[in-house]
A = this chain, B = another copy of it.
Amino acid sequence: MAASEKALNQADANLDGALERLFELIRIPSISADSNYAGDCRKAAEWIAADLAGLGFEAGTRETDGQPMVVAHWRGKTTAPGPHVLFYGHYDVQPADPANLWKRDAFDPALIEGKTGKIIHGRGSSDDKGQLMTFVEACRALIQTTGELPVPVSILIEGEEESGSVNLGPFLDRNTDELKADLALVCDTAMWDRKTPAITTMLRGLVFEEVIVTAANRDLHSGLYGGAAQNPIRVLTHILAALHDDHGKVTLPGFYDGVPDLPNSVRKQWAALDFPEEQFLADVGLSVPAGEDNHSALEQLWSRPTCDVNGIVGGYIGEGSKTVIPSQASAKISFRLVGDQDPAAIRQAFRDFVRERLPADCSAEFLSHAASPAIMLDMSGPAVSAASGALADEWGKEAALIGMGGSIPIVGDFKRRLGLDALMIGFALEDDAIHSPNEKYELSSFRGGIRSWVRILDALKDSAA
């Protein structure tokens, strides 16, 4: 029996133990966006470091100005001297509100019956605790059965992916020598569908801005002041409404600079994917693509830039009525970027756009939560072929080479700061509800993910030749 064959059997035999470990990790509410959970973030980091140390990794947590990092290096035997891979995942999770929409507590994981088989319930079960543990469990199975790993492995698990990864870039810069590798493996993406694995080759960038508009120096009674006093909610809605024209295009000057036309080859490949546009929308209760006219839903999602208001608040939001004209109103706005769109230029264009539209007596403050460019990976190297072949062996279907609407800033950071290309391979499904109530990870994703990494690591040892 080949080494990888033994490891695959071992992974299956130990699946219950792997689930128990994942549940332990999910039970730690490591919400990085809320400072009340800083202690839990640290706990999650320490849990992972301890698990990796138990496998024989040189592993520990590292301080940053925010949540700690987990860094681990396999110092044991390897079958081949290279390529040296650096695996990336994140232990932090999205907030779980609104709590009342969860059928079961967000941090009380369980294996339950889903629509298409068994699913793992819980915040982070998919994004990204379940995903990162597929790699850890693959290493475990290989180490337990062969005492070695096929290639040198380092692991970097961050704790601020859901809150802008603000400390990741500086950390990479401070540790370039230690984190040097030949290839990054990033497990934070989805499969094409339940049965088709995928390697993500295009990622949109992200600019995330918060704007706070202030008018009067205190909240006012709308009866006493209404009509004469400026209302910051009205100001904000006017500005936000002006961000899109009637054709769904974003109106910021220069916004489309650097947005490439989709190459015909890619357009063809995407057409061949036969994306079920109607079903994709119907699954969430929608029917009409809401983006730019003259672009398919897939183009709107993968290759066109967007602007979305992700949050807005102002005035009285409790039950019933209160006739207040608030002093402030605020909104959180994100722009998804493609091609060569410049995050800094777009952030500036947005701030100028707001300031130009402020009426008398109003001021605006801005907070920047993210600014990362889009990524397009070179798919011609031997590592991609090796991974692609390994995925096909496991799932019995060729891996789809796909784009992705979301942003994974780490991929740009790896390229820019460490000179590393990244293979984005994940086993999530579109309906995992990763930022919503009732997040889940399919048992088939978890098991197939573990087995896939066993095969990929094994295949990589031959790709260096």
Contact = CB atoms under 8 A, between A and B. Distances in A.
Interface string A425-440: 0000010011111000
B369 A320 contact: yes
A238 B285 CA distance: 21
Nearest to A330: B317
Contacts of A436: 218-221, 324
Interface in A314-355: 314-326, 329, 331-332, 334, 336
A233 interface: yes
B316 A322 contact: no
Contacts of A281: 228-229, 361
A315 B208 CA distance: 14
A241 B231 contact: no
Nearest to A329: B312
Given A228-B289, A230-B290, A241-B237, A216 B284 contact: yes
A450 B15 CA distance: 83
Interchain residue pairs A-B with the least CB separation, the first 6:
A223-B406, A217-B285, A311-B315, A241-B241, A321-B369, A227-B300
Given A226-B306, A228-B280, A233-B311, 14 more contacts: A33-B320, A215-B286, A217-B284, A219-B436, A222-B306, A222-B405, A226-B405, A228-B297, A290-B361, A310-B315, A312-B313, A312-B329, A320-B369, A323-B435
26 contacts: A33-B321, A34-B318, A34-B320, A95-B316, A164-B320, A219-B437, A223-B406, A227-B304, A227-B305, A228-B281, A229-B284, A230-B288, A230-B290, A231-B309, A233-B312, A234-B240, A234-B241, A234-B308, A237-B240, A286-B361, A310-B315, A310-B322, A310-B324, A312-B313, A321-B369, A323-B406
